[in-house]
Amino acid sequence: MEVTLEKKLELINKIEFFSRFDESDKVTMANMATFEKYQPGDKLIKQNTSNTHLFFIINGNVDIVIDYKIVVSLCGGGHVFGEMSFVDYSPTSASVVANTKVVAMLFDTGKINLMIEPIHYKLRMDIYRSCAEILARRLIHTNSIAKAYIQNEKLDDVALTED
């Protein structure tokens, strides 16, 4: 799918992930961006496999699936996934499945990691920082779910001992 540099920059400027990037780094990223279309049911990422891309949903909806159970659905708007594999090179922790037609902007993480010239230090730092912020927000959310679960479990224990 061919997309002009101008359109790529327009999309990058709308996505929070790139908000701290300076204009020259946004152009570098735009030049690296590719686009893929997916049909409902297509797997963008398969759980427990190697992933070498950062994905940004441009249009459409995807389900994040762990062990065949939907954990969350993401709708367009520049949502990113693939960041965990990028940061720690681990196999994917979930599958990502299109539940509508999807257009995604992709970045090859191997190419990002090959940008070792001093001119790219800040860009790579900004990419890792944006990934870290996403992971931190997700951890905070997961911790709040765990806390609610633990509190409910304690309430159940209290109810059982009052009988």
User: What domains does the chain contain, in order, with CATH numbers?
Assistant: 5-162 (2.60.120.10)
Q: How confident is the model at residue 25 (pLDDT cuts 50, 70, 90)?
A: very high
- pLDDT score for 160: 55
Is residue 59 helix, strand or coil? strand
User: Which one-letter amino acid corresponds to residue 94?
Assistant: A
Which residues, at least 6 apart from 151, have a Cβ–Cβ distance to it below 8 Å?
none
Say if residue 159's pLDDT is above 60: no
Alpha helices, DSSP H, located in 15-120: 23-32, 83-88, 109-113
Q: Between residues 76 and 12, which one has the greater pLDDT?
A: 12
Mean pLDDT of 115-136: 94
Cα(129)–Cα(133) distance, integer angstroms = 6
Q: How confident is the model at residue 138 (pLDDT cuts 50, 70, 90)?
A: confident
Q: What is the DSSP letter of 101?
A: -
Q: What is the DSSP letter of 78?
A: T
- CB under 8 A, 24+ apart: contacts of 61-64: 61/98, 61/99, 61/100, 61/102, 62/96, 62/97, 62/98, 62/99, 62/102, 63/96, 63/97, 63/99, 64/94, 64/95, 64/96
Half-sphere CA count of 93, side-chain side, radius 13 A: 12
pTM summary value: 0.86
User: Which one-letter amino acid corresponds to residue 2?
Assistant: E
Cα(144)–Cα(113) distance, integer angstroms = 33
Say if residue 64's pLDDT is above 70: yes
